[in-house]
């Protein structure tokens, strides 16, 4: 129940984000984001397409891919480079720098808040006059459940 509330909160936040920035909160965008919010596992673009197609009316691949791109660009979902898959962001505001933990044993993925780490990277890079617009940190290991 608690999960459901926070899930719809996140969807509402995304909706408000669209309104504020004059983006359209289209049905495909809504369906892609709700799907990722309801799953706690990374999904590839093809899996997202398949899951959305089987449930309701057919949805065209470019429509789904564009919706994924839109949420990714705006920081609501993250692409896990090493898995070529996507997860919904667990943060309360959209952001472009994130850190993901992937369990080698059960494949569970969670987002970690490591602001200080990305901050220190940013500082190092500032000295070299490089501008970072996006960063991904992927950490691998075994999760709490698998360690028991």
Are 19 and 13 a contacting pair, CB within 8 Å?
no
Nearer to Zn ion, 39 or 53 (CB): 39
β-pair partners for 80: 85
Are 103 and 45 a contacting pair, CB within 8 Å?
no
Cα 20 to Cα 33: distance, rounded to the nearest angstrom: 18
User: For Zn ion, what does the binding mask look like between residues 128 and 147, x meaning CB under 5 A?
Assistant: ---------------x--x-
User: For Zn ion, what does the binding mask look like between residues 31 and 70, x meaning CB under 5 A?
Assistant: ----------------------------------------
* # chain residues binding Zn ion, by CB under 5 A: 9
Cα 94 to Cα 105: distance, rounded to the nearest angstrom: 29
Nearer to Zn ion, 27 or 41 (CB): 41
Q: Footprint of Zn ion on residues 69-108 (CB under 5 A)? A: 89, 91, 98, 103, 105-106, 108
Q: How far is the CB of 95 from Zn ion (least distance, A)?
A: 6
Q: How far is the CB of 48 from Zn ion (least distance, A)?
A: 18
Nearer to Zn ion, 10 or 31 (CB): 10
To the nearest 10°, report the CA torsion of 90, 95, 99, 103. 30
Q: Which phi and psi (to 5°) does residue 15 adopt?
A: -65, -45
β-pair partners for 100: 111, 138
The site for Zn ion (CB under 5 A) is made up of 89, 91, 98, 103, 105-106, 108, 143, 146
């Amino acid at each position: 129940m608690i999960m459901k509330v926070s899930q719809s909160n996140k969807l509402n936040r995304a909706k408000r984000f669209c309104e504020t920035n004059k983006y359209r909160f289209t049905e495909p965008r809504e369906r892609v984001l709700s799907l990722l919010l309801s799953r706690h596992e990374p999904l590839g673009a093809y899996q997202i397409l398949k899951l959305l197609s089987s449930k309701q009316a057919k949805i065209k691949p470019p429509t789904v891919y564009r919706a994924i791109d839109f949420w990714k660009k705006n920081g609501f979902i993250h692409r896990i480079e090493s898995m070529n898959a996507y997860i919904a962001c667990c943060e309360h505001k959209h952001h472009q720098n994130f850190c993901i933990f992937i369990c080698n044993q059960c494949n569970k993925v969670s987002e970690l808040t490591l602001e200080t780490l990305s901050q220190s990277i940013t500082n190092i890079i500032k000295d070299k006059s490089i501008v970072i617009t996006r960063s991904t940190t992927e950490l691998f290991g075994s999760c709490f459940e698998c360690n028991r």
